[in-house]
Amino acid sequence: MILNCLRSANRMLCRRGLAFSFCVLIASAAALPAADRDKSQEQGDTPTSTKLRSRTTSKKPYTTGATGETARIAAEIDTLIRQSWTDNEIRPSAEADDAEWIRRVHLDLVGHIPTLEQTKSFLADRDKNKRSAMIDQLIDSSDFVDNWTTIWTNLSIGRQTPRRTSRTGMESFYRQAFSENRPWNEVVRDIISAEGHYEENGAVNFLLAQMTARDEAVQATAKTTRLFMGIQVQCTQCHNHPFNKWKQDQFWEFNSFFRQARRIDHRKLDPDTGRMVDDYSELVNRGNVEGPVYFEKRSGLMQVAYPKYQGKTVDPGADTNRREVLAKLVTTVDESSLQSSGARPMIADALANRLWGHFLGFGFTRPVDDMGPHQPASHPRVLELLAIEFAKHNFDVRELMRWICNTEAYNLSSKFGPKNKIDDPAIGEMPLFSHVYMKQMNAEQLFDSLLVATNAHQSGQTDLEKSKQRRQNWLQQFVRTFGTDENDEATSFNGSIPQALMMMNGELIENAVSAKEGSFLHSVLANSDNDSKKITTLYLTALGRRPLGKEQKAAQQLINRSSDRLTGYQDLFWALLNSNEFILVH
């Protein structure tokens, strides 16, 4: 199969030799600072220098046009981040230009690139508050709900749905939560304490997905702490943690809360085959479970552990609903302590850290779900500020995102130069957030962005349900080709041969550049614009920017040297969609 794909790709690349080399030209242009790209467009040439101009940090506070609490909190974050730049003697990158920023904020908030019309409208808008307005517009959109429903469903149960788990139920739960902007502590409380039918109460699917094996709730314990509390305790089931304060007995004390949970898999008779088949699953509490759990120490001694959370012992009797008690302990806020000392539940820090990592490319800890004294945060005061304000604002997830997106750090360019080249967490350095760190699109972002850029879903495909099924089939194929069971690694674009073949030679790409009626390329070729304007349109829709002078000339040469103009435009669009600049979030 791989050999056939290689042969097919080779035939395609022979035809598209110029187009393939065009990707290199695009990559070199993407490395240029935004200011130099603008200058190049004006002069019709590509500058040879990729260094940033010398830039001192402005004394004037940065603002995206936000007002009220959003402006106050974003400004406080900016002050703390700027201090870290001063302490480390670096200068931040320039502010991202509008083309770079609108593409980034769309991918981060709604999971796909902006449409051509959205890009053109934003670039033409002269309102100084347009970035803040765009953030609000995206956060209030249905695409925002769709995107974050997908993100948290994948985090909770994985992209490959575990057996006897309902993805539909899990998605339904999160969709309602994000649509109604439910407080995050309520969402977490519902998930930990959930009981019932896996579609009637979709929250149960989080624990059902962790209960596919008889493991005494070990996986449920580890997943709950990692995802919602930002700590990793899985290794302490066998021994004390060598670096943090978690001990073996603490793991089993936490585990005790989940021992009442039981999954029941129901079956039914299939009248066509006369056989029993899967029907549905449910999560119930076994009220007869009481007393401690027993675990074995490395010395061979048996120990007991009663349900206990952060020093608070819970009645282990059969009448106690342990998960319900745990859900309250994990999510309840003591308002007086919050106001006086900033005391808040761990879920506040965990989500603040995770979302900062989502938007900036790196969290305050690495990984974001392994917080604790063994791994101090890079910017503890920023993390504390975000977590406290998040708790004070009733765990409003949209507000938390709004604060982060309005910070100066998020609005910087991804380009860096000699004054901040040491800010490179990818090689193990502490993140200083003096520029935005580039990320690779995940599978969902790539698929949806290809549809936005090409109208490929409309080319020869009009049935909505078939389009959805096609998307799911593509995602499953992608995960199966590149993925593992670790969700954060499942769709990483690492330059592997299978990933390259899927992008270059896959059905979606071929359909996107086929110029069938209804496709974006068909509409471009059908209008009366000259070649220069058509090339610019393809750049704007694929990369969100106008071509540089050298790119414009090279694109024209590619079209002129092709066997026919249709082939030339197909090869040009193919090159843009297969470039690193398209795949990267920058």
pLDDT in tens, 489-534: 344 444 454 555 566 667 777 777 888 887 888 899 998 889 999 9
Report yes or no on 426 lying in a domain.
no
Could you give the CA distance from residue 490 to residue 477 in angstroms, rounded to a whole number?
11
Report yes or no on 401 lying in a domain.
no
Q: Give long-range contacts, CB 8 A cutoff, 24+ apart: 346-350.
A: 346/229, 346/230, 346/231, 347/184, 347/185, 347/188, 347/228, 347/229, 347/395, 348/387, 348/388, 348/390, 348/391, 348/395, 349/230, 349/383, 349/384, 349/387, 350/227, 350/228, 350/229, 350/230, 350/231
Q: Say if residue 177's pLDDT is above 60.
A: yes
Q: Which of 84-93, 264-273, 507-516, 522-531 has the highest mean pLDDT?
A: 84-93
pTM of the full structure: 0.88
Mean pLDDT of 124-140: 97
* C-alpha distances in Å from residue 288, one per residue of 261, 305, 313, 318, 518: 11, 17, 19, 5, 62
Give pLDDT tens digits for 441-467. 888 898 889 889 887 655 444 454 566
Q: Which domain holds residue 235?
A: 142-332
Residues 447 and 579 in one domain: yes
Q: Of 394, 312, 399, 391, nearest to 349 (Cα)?
A: 391
Tell me which DSSP letter residue 429 carries. Answer: P
Q: Which of 80-94, 217-231, 243-257, 370-384 has the highest mean pLDDT?
A: 80-94
Report yes or no on 224 lying in a domain.
yes
Report yes or no on 112 lying in a domain.
no
Report whether 244 contacts 372 (CB < 8 A): yes
Q: Sheet harboring 261-270: ordered strands across?
A: 196-197, 275-285, 261-270
Q: Of 296, 145, 329, 74, nearest to 224 (Cα)?
A: 329
Residues 454 and 317 in one domain: no
% of the chain beyond a pLDDT of 90: 56
Domain end: 286, 308, 332, which one? 332
359 or 429: whose pLDDT is higher?
A: 359
Q: What total of structural domains would you count in the chain?
A: 2
Report yes or no on 398 lying in a domain.
no
Domain end: 332, 365, 395, which one? 332
Structure confidence at residue 380 (pLDDT): 97
Give pLDDT tens digits for 312-339. 889 988 889 999 999 999 999 999 999 9
Mean pLDDT of 192-216: 95
Least confident of 2-11, 211-220, 489-498, 507-516: 2-11
Residues 322 and 447 in one domain: no
Structure confidence at residue 463 (pLDDT): 52
Give pLDDT tens digits for 20-63. 555 555 545 554 444 444 444 433 443 322 333 333 344 466 77
Report yes or no on 561 lying in a domain.
yes
Q: Say if residue 214's pLDDT is above 60.
A: yes
Q: Say if residue 243's pLDDT is above 70.
A: no
Report yes or no on 166 lying in a domain.
yes
Could you give the CA distance from residue 5 to residue 497 in angstroms, rounded to a whole number?
10
Report yes or no on 153 lying in a domain.
yes
Structure confidence at residue 490 (pLDDT): 46
Could you give the CA distance from residue 176 to residue 149 in angstroms, rounded to a whole number?
9
Domain with 545 in it: what CATH number?
1.10.3130
Q: Say if residue 482's pLDDT is above 50.
A: no
* Confidence grade of residue 415 (pLDDT, cut at 50, 70, 90): very high
Domain end: 300, 332, 364, which one? 332
